[in-house]
Amino acid sequence: MITGHASHQIGLDADIWFTPKPAAPLSVAEREAMPFTSMLDKSKFLTVDARRWSPTHARLLMLAASYPQVERVFVNPAIKKKMCDTWMGDRSLLGKLRPVYGHDEHFHIRLFCPPGAANCEKQAAVAKGDGCDKSLAWWFTKEPWAPPKPPDPTKKPVKPRQVMVSDLPKACAAVLRAPARPAGGMLSGADAVNAYSEALPAASPTAGADVPLPTPRPMQ
């Protein structure tokens, strides 16, 4: 994603908006420009807005956590606390809800490595328990929100290195060599698979090696 969200680069992550789907189908332009609603009361520190939050939102989060393919569900710390304080159902999956910056307009699901994906590195397992403990309380201290410390003036700054396509797994070269999507449209599922299959044999470790990648920003 050229706009950031570095974690989405590996194909195991997806964002789901808290805003319900409109009754009428959206055009591509409308979908991209649609405003989304924060679940927080911006006048208070890390507080869910009771006028916007509903039991439906809570059930949606727990439904996402219930899928065995889902490893983590990232939510705003205020939303995690709201779930800890109010969820009255089975709490065995509450630990999958992980607090992190942002994520007040949407929640973020991360999948486990799919079976047979030898190059997919597993993450550390989610800690046991519901996560309504000191790890959550930390987000309500000053520490996580404090401005970064100024750099040490005695140390020479390290110039960031531009990430290149050659730094990525070899399979990424096949994507680079695949045909561009038709102007004003998108490849169908079958066309996309065919394009990838045709490009794969021609892929090589150095294909597109001189193409720089945009610098991703930290996950919000």
User: What is the C-alpha to C-alpha distance for residues 132 and 111, in angstroms, rounded to an integer?
Assistant: 22
Assign 199 a pLDDT band (cuts: 50, 70, 90). Answer: very low
**Is the pTM of the predicted complex or chain greater than 0.75?**
no
Q: How many CB atoms lie within 10 A of CB 104?
A: 22
Assign 196 a pLDDT band (cuts: 50, 70, 90). Answer: very low
What is the helix (H) or strand (E) element at residue 85, kind and residue range? helix 77-86
- CATH entry 3.30.1380.10 includes domain 6-145: yes
Q: Which three-class secondary structure state does DSSP give residue 40?
A: strand
User: What is the C-alpha to C-alpha distance for residues 168 and 212, in angstroms, rounded to an integer?
Assistant: 11
pLDDT at residue 35, as a whole number: 83
- Count of positions (residues) in the chain: 220
pLDDT at residue 3, as a whole number: 55
Q: Which residue spans of the chain are classified as CATH 3.30.1380.10?
A: 6-145
The average pLDDT across 88-107 equals: 93
Assign 4 a pLDDT band (cuts: 50, 70, 90). Answer: low
Residues facing residue 72 across a β-bridge: 110
User: What is the C-alpha to C-alpha distance for residues 130 and 140, in angstroms, rounded to an integer?
Assistant: 17
Over the chain, what is the mean pLDDT? Answer: 81
Render pLDDT for 99-137 as a digit per residue (tens, 0 to 9).
Answer: 998 899 999 999 999 988 888 888 889 989 999 999 999
Percent of the chain's residues with pLDDT above 70:
78
pLDDT at residue 177, as a whole number: 79
Render pLDDT for 5-64 as a digit per residue (tens, 0 to 9).
Answer: 666 767 889 999 998 888 999 898 888 888 889 999 999 999 999 999 999 999 999 999
**Are 120 and 77 contacting, i.e. CB atoms less than 8 angstroms apart?**
no
User: What is the C-alpha to C-alpha distance for residues 87 and 81, in angstroms, rounded to an integer?
Assistant: 10
Distances (CA, A) of 168 to 81, 204, 209: 37, 12, 9
Render pLDDT for 28-38 as a digit per residue (tens, 0 to 9).
Answer: 888 888 888 99
Give 177 or 147, the one with higher predicted confidence.
Answer: 147
pLDDT at residue 129, as a whole number: 93
Percent of the chain's residues with pLDDT above 90:
45
